[in-house]
Structure 1
Amino acid sequence: MTERSEYVVNCSILFGELPLLERPAAAKAAGFGEVEFWWPWPGVAVPTEGEVDAFCQALEDANVQLTGLNFYAGDMPAGERGVLSDPARSLEFRDSVAVLVRIAERTGVKGFNALYGQRVEGVSAAEQDRVAAQNIAYAARKIADFGGTVLIEPLAQGLNGAYPLETAADAIAVVERVRKEGGVDNVAFLFDSFHLASNGEDLGKVVQAYAAEIGHVQLADAPGRDHPGTGDIDFTALLSALDAAGYSGRVALEYKPAGATDFTWMESFK
């Protein structure tokens, strides 16, 4: 039986039946000591001090460690998937980074997922990519002092609008560009089994090709994005490949349960 303490639980997609600030306690009650969140305030780049304090206090009260937090990504429920590549929203993104740093200083979180943003009509792809590289490097410098890492991930086609990062190679190209042009090295690849498999990637080959670049791993099955065992991914092979490649970072459960959050499936998960 897999110990739940081995995994991080994403409280933005799991425990959706509960108010957001009740989810850290629910994760703790379910046997998890580490949690991650998407940006807790959709569409709000700079929440109030009271809202930030309430979020951090919920983590402290539950006695769980925040290990991952998304950068501000616009209004995700409305379909946005990041703002950092939109020249018109650079200031909005950079203002949000200061909030993220305050949360990190209080909670100790060090992993930060930066959603790239969708293509914008009227702005060339080259210009968006240039702005994205600058903003990712800016964010990387702001979190470097406390050991933070910016994570870059591809997303599933057909579910995330005109999001340009679809393959592991797409994400790695961004990581390499930011390192070269931005002069930072705390940028890494986020390996998400659902998104990669949905886009036809061979997960084992991705691990072999980019093991040294993987900064974080998230698990959900495909198709469907429910828990492992509900789709076609061979998770025994995937986890073995990660072990063989020397991956020693965290592995998060970031799946969307069909009903209320339940972890009984983990009793036979290896």
Structure 2
Amino acid sequence: MPRFAANLSMMYNEHAFIDRFAAAAKDGFTGVEYLFPYEVPVAQLRQQLDEHGLQQVLFNLPPGDWSKGERGIASLPGREDEFKQSLDQALAYARVLGNDKLHVMAGLLDDENDRQRHRAVYLKNLAYAALLAAKENITVLIEPINTRDIPGYFLNRQDEAQEICAEIGVENLQVQFDIYHCQVVEGDIAVKLQRDMQRKHGGIGHIQIAGVPDRHEPDLGEINYSYLFTLIDQLAYQGWIGCEYRPKAATSAGLDWLKPWLAK
């Protein structure tokens, strides 16, 4: 049965961030993820996990200056030292929080003519991150993101992400398969899940969901998630499914889609 993790950056925004752990646990979630933990002392986050019986599933490396529009630095030439520092910070948090997956955001490509230079930096940084993360039994994830939500994002397609993983060729570098982003960019979700789930190098290390086109609850919009959840089970996926959507109203009121799966 799929295991669902609440994304506390996007869900439960009617609560202060530190109170979202309790709200998620009350609704039946056993795992949580979020974008960035770094503004909260790690001991305080650990306390929330322990108090509410939650497992930390995932968070992202620092993305650069988010307030100025940066969306990751892993592919940005000249930012390699900063990337290494961001990896050290993320690993320090993961040691305390216990998650075994970290998402590395690629960043923006301002000029398509610079793609190959960005790609070379990206591969070098990912190889470095995977090497350090492997020493702590952590998997590094890369995620194709649609350019409607993040115009200019470097990585957009599932096949491109899998090619990068295969080129680096280590077991602890995988793809974060966000069904929402994939549907917006390319569709054909089921076929791509079947194609990529069990690749030796790459594969799917984490799945995220949201309704399309509005990124609300997964039962709103054009995707048949009931079918996909069953398929994901049939494909023997052992990871978590992150609920990275913006609730249309109050979070708890929109969880009718989840209740049948919690009851199984």
Aligned position for 2:259: 267
- Name the amino acid aligned to 2:6: V
Give, in whole Å, the separation in 2 of the partners of 1:244 and 1:12.
30
- Name the amino acid aligned to 1:201: G
Give, in whole Å, the separation in 2 of the partners of 1:92 and 1:54.
26
Aligned position for 1:214: 204
1:198 pairs with 2:187: no
Gap regions ≥5 residues in structure 2: none
1:168 pairs with 2:158: yes
Matches within 5 A, 1:83-162: 83-121=73-111, 124-162=114-152
Give, in whole Å, the separation in 1 of the partners of 2:46 and 2:122.
28
Give, in whole Å, the separation in 1 of the partners of 2:3 and 2:112.
46
Cα offsets for 1:111-131 (capped at 9, x unmatched): 111111111459821111111
Give, in whole Å, the separation in 2 of the partners of 1:250 and 1:122.
34
Give, in whole Å, the separation in 2 of the partners of 1:80 and 1:101.
21
Tell me if the contact between 1:220 and 1:255 (Cα under 8 Å) persists in the aligned partners: yes
CA displacement at 1:202 relative to structure 2: 0.4
- Name the amino acid aligned to 2:20: R
Gap regions ≥5 residues in structure 1: 42-46
Give, in whole Å, the separation in 2 of the partners of 1:225 and 1:28.
22
Tell me the C-alpha RMSD between the 2 structures: 2.3
Give, in whole Å, the separation in 2 of the partners of 1:268 and 1:78.
41
Give, in whole Å, the separation in 2 of the partners of 1:91 and 1:223.
38
CA displacement at 1:223 relative to structure 2: 0.8
Q: CA distance change for structure 1 residues 103 and 243 in 2, over 3 Å: closer, same or farther?
A: same
Aligned position for 1:17: 14
2:55 to 65, 73, 78: 65
- Name the amino acid aligned to 2:153: Y
Give, in whole Å, the separation in 1 of the partners of 2:113 and 2:124.
16
Please state whether the residue corresponding to 1:201 is helix, strand or coil: coil
- Name the amino acid aligned to 1:154: P
- Name the amino acid aligned to 2:34: F
- Name the amino acid aligned to 1:252: G
Tell me if the contact between 1:194 and 1:219 (Cα under 8 Å) persists in the aligned partners: yes
Q: CA distance change for structure 1 residues 9 and 158 in 2, over 3 Å: closer, same or farther?
A: same
Please state whether the residue corresponding to 2:41 is helix, strand or coil: helix
- Name the amino acid aligned to 2:139: T
Please state whether the residue corresponding to 2:197 is helix, strand or coil: helix
Matched length: 256
Tell me if the contact between 1:86 and 1:120 (Cα under 8 Å) persists in the aligned partners: no
Tell me if the contact between 2:45 and 2:97 (Cα under 8 Å) persists in the aligned partners: no
- Name the amino acid aligned to 1:210: D
- Name the amino acid aligned to 1:206: K
1:8 to 2, 5, 8: 5
Please state whether the residue corresponding to 1:80 is helix, strand or coil: coil
CA displacement at 1:215 relative to structure 2: 0.8
Give, in whole Å, the separation in 2 of the partners of 1:170 and 1:72.
23
CA displacement at 1:225 relative to structure 2: 0.8
Tell me if the contact between 1:56 and 1:103 (Cα under 8 Å) persists in the aligned partners: no
Give, in whole Å, the separation in 2 of the partners of 1:94 and 1:22.
31
Give, in whole Å, the separation in 2 of the partners of 1:120 and 1:168.
21
